[in-house]
Every structure is written in structure tokens, then in C-alpha cells.
Amino acid sequence: MKAVILAAGIGERMRPLTYTHPKGLLPVAGKPILDYVLESLKRAETENVEIVVGYRKEDIIGRYGDGDNWEMDISYVEQPEQRGTADAISLTESDETFLVINGDVYCDAPSLVETINKHEEGEAVATLGTYRVKSAASYGVIKTKNGKIQEVIEKPKETYNQLINAGIYVFEPEIYDAIEDTPLSKRDEKEITTSIEMLIEKGELVSANELSSWVHVGRPWDLLIANENALKNLTPTTEGEIEPGAYVDENVTVEEGTLIRSGAYIEGPAYIGENSDIGPNCYIRPYTSIGKEVRIGNAVEVKNSIILDGSHAAHHSYIGDSIVGYGCNFGSGTKVGNLRLDAGNVIMTLRGELTDTGRRKLGAVLGEGVQTGINSSINPGVKVGPNSAVGPGAILYEDLPPNRCVFVEQKEEKRAWKND
């Protein structure tokens, strides 16, 4: 069966990370999200994959090429303008049953296979993968009866414990005709959910299959959730060097060329990439992923965070529930807070709007090349754009755009100073 991966989007809600990288290439447990999508497709015995690309398409094509390294046939089609999911699917071609999966979903392979099998065993023109979530406020809710979809509800009034559209579809070629007739939404886009609603209204059979494991990586904190899931399922290996006096849990992966220095204490599950330098006397707590050539030094504590390639926190820093982009550098004594003083849910600005993350503990999101000075602090939910800096002693309360600096202004009082 042919598979289509939708990976053309800009990923505005994932900024500042997506200023410099496409969302599908952001890593969890040492691998990009798209790697996990392709691995699931491979386990589902899918050999022909077409990726719809757009934003930073060269990065995606450069990584996956023609699919030889994946033992798959990978091709690409470009969506020049981001005009919606239905528009993206309309750019592909298939004269037989095909699978569509969003490039920002983390789904287990057995659930994917089960969805395909359910479609092939029935007579539906479309089968949707669904997932039950505690809060469906930002998803399309799926109402079903006997496994058949009755209605797709956007922005539902009832949000608790609902089945939502998981961004995984098995279609018959008839979907192309529905897409052609699909009107533009208020956002001037063609949405695939509208196309599916049109099929239901025409009396076509649209079925649903509930997935066992699924994460939509649409917001920065979703990346932490996907990272947690990936680490739980990771088979640990130790290829780097661990000095005497270091403690490393059995469920910690240490890649080749990495040195774990004496006094380091690492709790798993955790992942540490190639050629990194960890310790001495640091504390890495569970659900932390550290990339390649990263330095975590003396008296540094990292908790439930993702530290991307080339970043350095050499001494006396705390990083909690955060995402640190490529090539960042922390001055001594930098602290990234992850808990509000009132212990309420952390608020983060997405697309210019304040958003309740639903998390009591969430730190900062730093873009590529961010620097901090000694004894600086970044408050919970703050985002720092690429190549920006937080000066020595500064406390950052609000988001900092790309290529900006924040400094504490000191005033010199010019007068004689008497020594007693």
C-alpha cells in the first residue's frame, strides 16, 4: 500500500524551534519525528512513500533522499503554499487504496497496521485513526456508532475524554473527487476533515479505528510527551565510556564517543548522543534526551528536557522541563524555572495568544544559538528566539524574539568611597 506523509507545514506553534528546522526533523530520543513515522510505516510493510514537502523542503529531502537507507521507495511532491491538508493530499496520485499520515504524529506500528486491516476488511471509502484524549479543545472530535463515523466536530463544547481525529487516514481514490469539491475554510484552506464530512453527508461509509498509542507534536510541550514515550520504548545500549565513580541507570542509552565522567548521576530512562561530555558531578534526571557533542558539566542538573546537538551547560546550571535548541550556551549559574510561584498551570504564547499548557511544570523553549550570561534566569513558559542572548544577571519574564539581547543596566555612582 502506498503511504503519503504530510510534512509541508511551517509549524508556527513550534517556534522558536521551527525558525531554523522543519517540525518533522525535531528529534525525540535522538531521532527526528519523521524517523518514527517511517519506522512505523516500514513495520506496516509499506514500501512506497510519498512525502508532501514545502517549508525547508531541502532539509527533509537531504535527510531521506530516495529511501535507499530505509529500504523504501521515497518520493516527494511540493506544496508551494500552505493551503490545508486536503490541498496537500490533492497533489498526490493514487488509483488504489492509500494511507495518509501527518508528519507530526507519533503512533505505534501495531495501531497503524490495525487501522489498515480494518479498512481493507470493510467497505468504507475512508477509515480514520482516532485517539481518546482528556482534553479535546484543540482537536476535531469524532462521534461514532458501531465503528462508523457519524460526525466530525471542530472546537467541541464537550472536551473531556473524547475521541479525536488522530491525523491518520486510509482512503479510497474517491477522496480526490471529494477534495475537488471541498470549499475553502475561513483560513482560506482546504481541510481534509471537511472533505470527510462531505463523504458522510453523501451517505458514504466512513469508519474509525481507535489507536493504542499516539502523540500529536503540534506544540512545544508535545515534544516532551513524545520524548517520554520514545524513551520508554527505547532499548538501551552503552557504547560510550563510563568512568569509575559515575552512576548510570540500566535504562540509559550512551552513544559512541561519549564520556560520562566520575560523579555524574544519571537516572533513566534517558538518552545521550554521540561524542558528548557529561560530568563530573552532574545530575541528569529521567526522561532527558541529550544530543550529539553536548557538554553537561559540573554541578549542572537537567530534568525531563531535550538538549539538542552542540549545546553547552558547563557549570552550575539548572534546566527543567525545557527544550534547548542546537548550539546554545549557558553561562555559569543559569537557571531555567519550570514551576510558577503560585503552582498554577504554565502559560505560553502561541501564535500571539496566551495558551494554557495544562502543565504545572514546564520550563523554557530556546531556539538555535541562544546564549545566556552568568547568573541569568528564564521563567516558566518563556520562549527565546534563535541567536538571542540573556545577559549576566538578567531575569527573562517574557518571550524574546530572534536576534535580540536582554541586559541588566548598571549605574555607576561617581563619588568618593571612604574606607573605614
Residues 212 and 240 in one domain: no
Same domain, 138 and 283: no
| 95 pLDDT higher than 60 | yes
What confidence tens digit (pLDDT) does each residue in 199-215 have? 998 888 899 898 988 88
CB 358 within 8 A of CB 135: yes
Does residue 419 belong to any structural domain of this protein?
no
Q: Answer whether residue 45 shows pLDDT above 90.
A: no
236 and 205 together in one domain = no
Report the chain's mean pLDDT, rounded to a whole number: 91
Per residue in 392-420, pLDDT (tens digit) is 999 999 999 999 999 988 777 777 766 65
Task: Note whether residue 149 is domain-resident.
Answer: yes
Q: Is 168 inside any structural domain?
A: yes
Instruction: Say yes or no: 267 and 164 in one domain.
Output: no
pTM: 0.90
Q: What is the C-alpha separation between 185 and 173, in angstroms, rounded?
A: 23
The catalytic residue among 21, 312, 315, 316 is 315
Q: What's residue 160's pLDDT? A: 65
Total domain count, the chain: 2
Query: Which of 36-50, 97-111, 147-161 has the least mean pLDDT?
Result: 147-161
Residue 168 belongs to domain spanning: 2-218
Please check whether residues 262 and 391 belong to one and the same domain: yes
Q: Which of 198, 218, 238 is the last residue of a domain?
A: 218
174 & 251 share domain: no
Phi, psi of 198 (to 5 degrees): -65, -40
How far CA 331 is from CA of 45, 308, 315, 389, in Å, comes to: 48, 17, 8, 11
% of the chain exceeding 70 in pLDDT: 97
What does the alpha-carbon distance between residue 13 and residue 267 come to, in Å, rounded to a whole number? 31
Unique residue bearing C-alpha cell 493514487: 94
- The domain boundary residue, chosen from 157, 191, 218: 218
Choosing from 178, 195, 218, the residue where a domain stops is 218
Instruction: For residue 254, give the CATH number of its domain.
Output: 2.160.10.10
Q: Kindly state whether residues 208 and 235 are assigned to the same domain.
A: no
Please count the other Cβ atoms lying within 10 Å of the Cβ belonging to residue 114: 17
Max CA separation in the chain (angstroms): 93
Asked whether residue 230 falls in the same domain as residue 323, the answer is yes
Q: Extract the C-alpha cell encoding 269.
A: 530512562
Distance CA 261, CA 95 (A): 57
Please indicate, yes or no, whether residues 361 and 242 belong to a single structural domain of this protein. Answer: yes
Model confidence over 244-270: pLDDT tens digits? 999 999 999 999 999 999 999 999 899
Per-residue pLDDT at 93 = 86
List pLDDT tens digits, range 334-343. 999 999 999 9
Residue 316 catalytic? no
Q: Do 214 and 230 reside in the same domain of the chain?
A: no
Average of per-residue pLDDT across 106-128: 89
Q: Tell me the CATH number at 123.
A: 3.90.550.10
Look at the block and give the residue holding cell 482512503: 171
Question: Looking at the structure, do residues 242 and 384 belong to the same domain, yes or no?
Answer: yes
Question: Do 142 and 248 belong to one domain?
Answer: no
Residue 310 — pLDDT band, cuts 50, 70, 90?
A: very high
Cα 364 to the center of its chain, rounded Å: 14
pLDDT level of residue 151 (50, 70, 90 thresholds): confident
